[in-house]
Amino acid sequence: MAAAPTHLGLVFGGASGEHAVSIRSANTVAGALRRGANAERYRLSCFYIDRQGHWWPPAVAEMVLAKGTPATVPWMCRCGCRCCMAPTAKTARSRGCSA
């Protein structure tokens, strides 16, 4: 009986001058973990930290990895608050955003 895959988290980005390098490095690591025998051994969840230090979930992290450049998230709030996960301005305001 095969063992369940080990769940790994890959955190990349961050408020650093090395932000773009971190994205490229994460792409290399994610690619290696998703190929060949590693694809069966590991389950990968990626998390992106933007230049302002906000953490983003796997859906956004995967977009950043696919694009290879820092995120410009379409639903990003103008004020940069944590309600940025809201897909619309109306939802953002309902979460307390003033923008």
Indicate the number of domains in the chain: 1
Q: What is the dihedral of CA 72, 77, 57, 11, to 10 degrees?
A: 60
- Asked, for residue 94, whether it belongs to a domain, the answer is no
Q: Are 81 and 99 in contact (CB under 8 A)?
A: yes
- Asked, for residue 93, whether it belongs to a domain, the answer is no
Which of the residue ranges 34-38, 58-62, 94-98 has the most confident prediction, judged by mean pLDDT? 34-38
Q: What would the pLDDT profile of 54-76 be if each residue is shown by its tens digit?
A: 999 999 999 999 999 887 655 55
Tell me the sheet residues that pair with 7: 43
Average pLDDT of the residues of the chain: 82
C-alpha 77/C-alpha 34 separation (Å) is: 33
Q: What is the pLDDT of residue 72?
A: 67
- Asked, for residue 31, whether it belongs to a domain, the answer is yes
- Asked, for residue 35, whether it belongs to a domain, the answer is yes
Mean pLDDT (whole number) for 38-57? 94
CATH number assigned to the domain comprising residue 46 = 3.40.50.20
- Whether the pLDDT of residue 79 is over 80: the answer is no
- Asked, for residue 89, whether it belongs to a domain, the answer is no
- Asked, for residue 16, whether it belongs to a domain, the answer is yes
Full residue range of the structural domain in which residue 47 is found: 6-71
C-alpha 3/C-alpha 65 separation (Å) is: 28
